[in-house]
């Protein structure tokens, strides 16, 4: 099975500062990307998703579906197997880049030695930045961010809540309830006209 993603700016040669968004100091994610889905068990379809960071979450702007082989059909039964939300999460979970331009996943499990360092300094800048990065990435993928922090750092619910609150109090994580505006209309039109329209997916 294969769910892969590519940063559209990377394909088009667009300057990174115009095509990526910083979610933590030195950590960026693509504003625009596309996701290819193929060879998924029980899904006789090839699926291509064009996604855009709109407001505080990734949204699907365009979806293309094609049957995989002779005898397959793009029918209602096949379409019911298209788990768009899951494909977006799987495709974009490791598309963040660090300050050196290296890809990594802010949601990937942490090694025990890394966890020990965070637990030794639960109020340290490095710990709170990692918490904020995980929380922010989970929000972008429409996941439950507090649950993502709890599971990644292997914390109790109460301890995860404390760490998240510390990150907010230090200004590393945005305040709860912050209103995030959707894409401006002119940007939305640019996305559909110039970013995804010619995308060969």
6 falls within a domain: yes
- Which residue reads 């292997």 in tokens? 154
Contact of 98 with 104, CB cutoff 8 Å: yes
- Do 75 and 111 sit in the same domain of this protein? no
Is 156 a residue whose pLDDT tops 80?
yes
Q: How many domains does the chain have?
A: 2
pLDDT computed for residue 178 by the predictor? 66
Q: Are residues 122 and 86 in the same domain?
A: no
Give 122-147 pLDDT, tens digit per residue. Answer: 999 999 999 999 999 999 899 999 99
Tell whether 38 is covered by a domain.
yes
Residues 114 and 59 in one domain: no
Q: Which one has a higher pLDDT value, 89 or 24? A: 89
94 and 188, same domain (yes or no): yes
134 found inside a domain: yes
* pLDDT computed for residue 71 by the predictor: 86
Task: Name the band, by pLDDT with cuts 50, 70 and 90, for residue 99.
Answer: confident
Report pLDDT digits (tens) over 74-93.
888 888 888 888 888 888 88
| Residue 153 domain flag | yes
pTM value is 0.78
- Whether 88 maps to a domain, the answer reads yes
Q: Check whether 154 has a pLDDT greater than 90.
A: yes
Whether residue 191 is contained in a domain is answered as yes
In this structure, are 10 and 86 located in the same domain? yes
**Position 15 confidence tier, pLDDT thresholds 50, 70, 90:** low
Task: Tell me the residue range of the domain where 82 lies.
Answer: 2-100+180-195
């Amino acid at each position: 099975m294969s769910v892969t993603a590519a940063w559209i700016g990377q394909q088009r040669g667009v300057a990174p500062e115009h095509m990526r968004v910083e979610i933590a100091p030195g950590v960026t994610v693509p504003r625009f990307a596309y996701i290819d889905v193929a060879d998924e068990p029980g899904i006789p379809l090839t699926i291509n998703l064009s996604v855009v960071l709109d407001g505080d979450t990734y949204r699907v702007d365009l979806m293309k579906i094609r049957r995989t082989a002779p005898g397959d059909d793009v029918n209602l039964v096949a379409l019911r197997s298209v788990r768009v939300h899951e494909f977006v999460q799987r495709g974009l979970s490791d598309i963040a880049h660090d300050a050196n331009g290296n890809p990594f996943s802010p949601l990937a499990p942490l090694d025990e030695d890394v966890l020990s360092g965070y637990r030794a300094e639960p109020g340290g800048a490095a710990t709170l930045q990692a918490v904020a990065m995980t929380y922010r990435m989970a929000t972008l993928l429409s996941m439950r961010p507090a649950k993502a922090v709890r599971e990644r750092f292997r914390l109790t619910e109460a301890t995860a809540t404390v760490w998240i609150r510390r990150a907010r109090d230090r200004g590393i994580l945005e305040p709860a309830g912050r209103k995030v505006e959707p894409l401006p209309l002119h940007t939305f039109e640019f996305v559909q006209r110039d970013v995804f329209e010619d995308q060969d997916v």
